[in-house]
Amino acid sequence: MENDLERKVRSAGVAGWWTLWIAAQVLTVQWVAYLLVVSFRPKWVRWLWGPGVTWEYLSHVWWVGIAVMKSILLILAIPCLWLTLWARQLRKTSRKDVAGFTANG
């Protein structure tokens, strides 16, 4: 039973880390796109956002979006770390039980 729980917790932790890795890559691409668009200021970007949009407003909204995504990634990293540490503790406990020792002593 504990081996099954350890496997599920470890799998959840690995899935969380993969999700975090992919989201970090998306954030990196987004950041590079932000730097390129704000530095070159192509006309089609303001056309996509609509009439009356200034570059200051556009860059501020984009920057805030990137900051919010970074915060979400930090919040996602905490349960991933917790699941990883919990799986490690379950593995240590199951190894002691297999070796003939009890988990409490």
Express each pLDDT in 48-63 by its tens digit: 999 999 999 999 999 9
Q: Is residue 103 assigned to a domain?
A: no
The residue segments making up the domain with residue 9 are: 2-95
Q: What's the total number of domains in the chain?
A: 1
Q: Is residue 21 assigned to a domain?
A: yes
Q: Is residue 79 assigned to a domain?
A: yes
Per-residue pLDDT at 46: 93
Per-residue pLDDT at 95: 80
Per-residue pLDDT at 105: 52
Average pLDDT on 64-82 reads: 97
Q: Is residue 57 assigned to a domain?
A: yes
pTM reported for the whole predicted model: 0.80
Q: Is residue 60 assigned to a domain?
A: yes
* The dihedral sign for the CA sequence 94, 91, 103, 96: positive
Whether 97 contacts 2, CB under 8 Å: yes
- Mean pLDDT, the chain, rounded, equals 91
Per-residue pLDDT at 97: 72
